[in-house]
Amino acid sequence: MRSHSYNKREKILVSIRIILADDHPFVILGVRAALEMQAGITVVDQATDPVSLIECLRSTPCDVLVTDLSMPDHSFAVDDGLNLVRRIRSCWPQLRIVVMTTLTNPAILRAIVSDGAVSMVGKAESMDELRQAVLAARDGHAYLGRSIIEALAHPQDCECERPPAPRLTGKQAEVVRLLVSGQSISDIAAALGCDRRTVTRQKREAMAKLGVTNDPGLFSYVRAYGILNF
């Protein structure tokens, strides 16, 4: 695992084709401009949600994917950010991925960086940090930004105080269990014999009770507090 001191082959010898994904257009504009200032880096396509990202990957060859982890998908065709990364790794195993994130919870960060083909930088870090991550990814190395290293080195005291057990219904608890085990919304709907919209509703209701607002937050909460014994 490479740290923020990556200096190998700083000079780009071959062109790097990048697909950029983020649900905030201004983020895409800024990141694209900063990366393309570096000779040899070309953003060949961009996406603003999981569905369009999968379409880009299917139609546009690239060397490195630079993506936000938390992109909402209102069509429910693609599941949470962690499963999205896993799906991409499964379908395109040679593709290197650089994840941009605002997350600082060690539990969710460890789940992401456990894959040696996935690099990660904090969104608050400099564009030079992102550039180094892209270079490292191009060379086949995993890269962690400064803020990610710091978060992993100084884990939060999440085990010291466990929150009160949330009162989830049996169905809500089952949906959360299956999600954390890696199953998709479609898989869960098939297993429980219900419509995928019902599963999505139960998931949202569980998230509201747990006090989380997005999928990474749900995974982080469950993994940090171990609340699967409802």
CA distance 133 to 119: 7
Minimum mean pLDDT range among 83-92, 152-161, 176-185, 196-205: 152-161
DSSP per residue, 167-200 = ---HHHHHHHHHHHTT--HHHHHHHHTS-HHHHH
pLDDT digit string, tens, across residues 120-165: 999 888 899 999 999 999 998 989 999 888 888 776 544 444 455 5
Q: What is the SS3 assignment for 155?
A: coil
Give me the residue spans of the domains in the chain. Answer: 16-153, 170-225
pLDDT digit string, tens, across residues 55-71: 999 999 999 999 998 77
Grade residue 5 by pLDDT with cuts at 50, 70 and 90. very low
Q: 178 in the Ramachandran plot: left (φ > 0), alpha (ψ -120 to 50) or beta?
A: alpha
pLDDT at 47: 94
Look up tokens 């953003």; give the residue: 43
Give the mean model confidence (pLDDT) for residues 183-192: 89
Domain covering 170-225, topology: Arc Repressor Mutant, subunit A (1.10.10)
Intrachain domains 16-153 and 170-225 with the same fold: no
CA distance 35 to 128: 9
CA distance 174 to 194: 13
Report the top-level CATH class of 16-153: alpha beta
Tell me how far CA of residue 29 lies from CA of 15, 126, 129, in angstroms.
20, 15, 17
Instruction: Please give the single-letter amino acid code of residue 148.
Output: I
pTM of the model: 0.65
